[in-house]
Amino acid sequence: MVLLNCVAVQRVDVHARNGVLHLIKRPLPPPYATSLVDLISSDPNLTMFFSILGYADLLSWMRAVKSITVLAPVNAAFKRLPSRFVDSITYDYKYFPALQGEY
């Protein structure tokens, strides 16, 4: 079974002179209206990640970028790190080289 945005595709790769057709069983859901920053800021499991993005001054960049994929660690993941490591990020990100990378 082939899926396209969680919709089953009935027939795949129906070729024509000027393109390819894929037949789906129902209309695709509308495009997402929420931004990544909105999703991250509204999820109670991502408060540490959201804070770190803010410290690194990446929130405005994430709002402006057209398309990215984010692997976001939940709060429980940060709790597994040594507290001095998390403190060094949240206290002053300039001391954490990974947050100074070019983006």
> Does 100 have pLDDT greater than 80?
no
**Which segment of 29-33, 48-52, 58-62 scores lowest on mean pLDDT?**
29-33
The Cα–Cα gap between 3 and 5 comes to 6
Strands (DSSP E) found in 26-80: none
> Does 94 have pLDDT greater than 60?
no
Residue 65 φ then ψ, to 5°: -70, 145
Give tens-digit pLDDT for 66-93: 888 889 999 999 899 888 887 777 665 5
Element (H, E) at 13: strand 7-16
Whether residue 72 contacts residue 40, with contact meaning beta carbons closer than 8 Å, is answered with yes
> Does 3 have pLDDT greater than 90?
no
